[in-house]
Amino acid sequence: MSAARIVFLMYHELELAGRKLCQSEPGYVRYILPLETFREQMSWLKESGWRGLNVSEALRYPPEPSVCITFDDGCETDLIAAAPVLREFGFNATFYLTAGFLGTPGYLNASQVRDLDAEGFQIGCHSMTHPYLSDLREPDLKRETVDAKLLIEAILGHAIEHFSCPGGRYDPRTLQMARQAGFVTVANSRFYSNSVRTSPYELGRVAVLRGLTLERFSKICRGGGLWKQRLQHRVRHTAQRLLGNAGYDHLRAIMLGKKQ
């Protein structure tokens, strides 16, 4: 019926003046936006008549111009920085939490998770310990999906439905385990927009990277230029397959380090 395509945006920790980031390596910081940049993006969306939706809302694929807003990792800035901005503009979002990081320095604690939930934002799961799921044997995979889901649900006191893959890595086993765990959707970080025809277990997401101009951001929201990023992804994916995840990360760290 509706031919709506929706881009799912992927955010991480936000940078606040005087607050130390959870991690400092270049490969991590690349995904971190200063709070002001995030606010500018949300402000642009609002002024341009866009809506900001959580995953459940986005899956209804409304015909009005909309983006889905998601955050990975469960950093404390979800509550203290992102949530107030989202509220200001009347947007919702899905926050995927790494269950095993909760309560550690820089990440949300249980009571902050409940606050985020009570404010009406959607809580999802981003594994237990943030490994590449495609590298894991079955018992570990179970812990990262089933146990992580139960832990977050125990904090919230209600069920959660949405999962996102750490580092975007997944394979058919991963998706099957997530389904068995009771997740209704799985989001990755592949560069495509989603529509009613997209499998809910392979929702594409576009990473919003540090240094992105507002012009590029608006283009991404319209789904423009994603083919170029898909092509880059394919090159990276081939390198990952050839080198293995560990070898690839090593190479990437060297290359990003040199760029600094």
DSSP state of 143: I
CB closer to Zn ion out of 72 and 117? 72
CB closer to Zn ion out of 57 and 72? 72
CB closer to Zn ion out of 110 and 207? 207
Binding region for Zn ion (CB under 5 A): 72-73, 166
Tell me the closest approach of the beta carbon of residue 129 to Zn ion, in angstroms: 11
Tell me the closest approach of the beta carbon of residue 185 to Zn ion, in angstroms: 16
98 within 8 A of 130, measured Cβ to Cβ: yes
Q: Which residue is nearest to Zn ion (CB)?
A: 72
CB closer to Zn ion out of 54 and 164? 164
CA 228 to chain centre: 20
Please spell the DSSP secondary structure of 122-134, one letter per residue.
EEEE--SS---GG
Tell me the closest approach of the beta carbon of residue 200 to Zn ion, in angstroms: 20
Q: Residue 218 pairs with which residues in a beta bridge?
A: none
> What distance in Å separates the CA atoms of residue 55 and residue 126, rounded to the nearest whole number?
14
CB closer to Zn ion out of 72 and 78? 72
**Helix pair 35-47, 214-221: axis angle to 10 deg:** 50
> What distance in Å separates the CA atoms of residue 46 and residue 204, rounded to the nearest whole number?
23
Q: How many angstroms separate the Cα of 58 from the Cα of each of 119, 148, 173, 184, 203?
A: 19, 24, 26, 14, 11
Tell me the closest approach of the beta carbon of residue 39 to Zn ion, in angstroms: 22
Tell me the closest approach of the beta carbon of residue 88 to Zn ion, in angstroms: 25
Which token pair is 54? 């959580």
